[in-house]
Amino acid sequence: MTCRCAFPCRLGLLKGVVLFLPVTLFHTFATLIINCIVVWSVFDYGFLLIRLYVRAWPPLLSTACRAWSGDSGDCKSRWHFTPSRPPPVHA
């Protein structure tokens, strides 16, 4: 016994492809757009953290050095660190 696909079967197959293809394409493009938004958000957040870290590191290191060494702020002998601002001059 053989089963041959007649015209209604082909029409149903064509209708299924026509209905399924737009849904698949929409899902694919929506997924790509969402992935791009997520990836760029993560990159932006990472760059923001790096910028904050670079700005915050020298003052934190200077404060930690002063607290650890107990001196008046001259940490060059132990830490080889040059502060961004010169120490105040006492008259």
Residue 33: predicted pLDDT: 87
The residue-averaged pLDDT of 16-36 equals 82
Among 4-18, 28-42, 75-89, the range of highest mean pLDDT: 28-42
Q: How far apart are CA 30 and CA 35, in angstroms?
A: 8
CB 61 within 8 A of CB 81: yes
Residue 75: predicted pLDDT: 53
pLDDT of 86 over the 80 cut:
no
CB 61 within 8 A of CB 55: no
Break the chain into its structural domains and give their ranges. 7-70
CB 73 within 8 A of CB 88: no
| Lowest-pLDDT range of 5-9, 40-44, 64-68, 84-88 | 5-9
* Amino acid letter, residue 15: K
DSSP 85: S
Residue 88: predicted pLDDT: 67
When pLDDT is cut at 50, 70 and 90, the band that residue 9 belongs to is: low
CB 71 within 8 A of CB 79: no
Q: Which residues contact 54 (CB under 8 A, 6 or more apart)?
A: none
The residue-averaged pLDDT of 47-62 equals 73
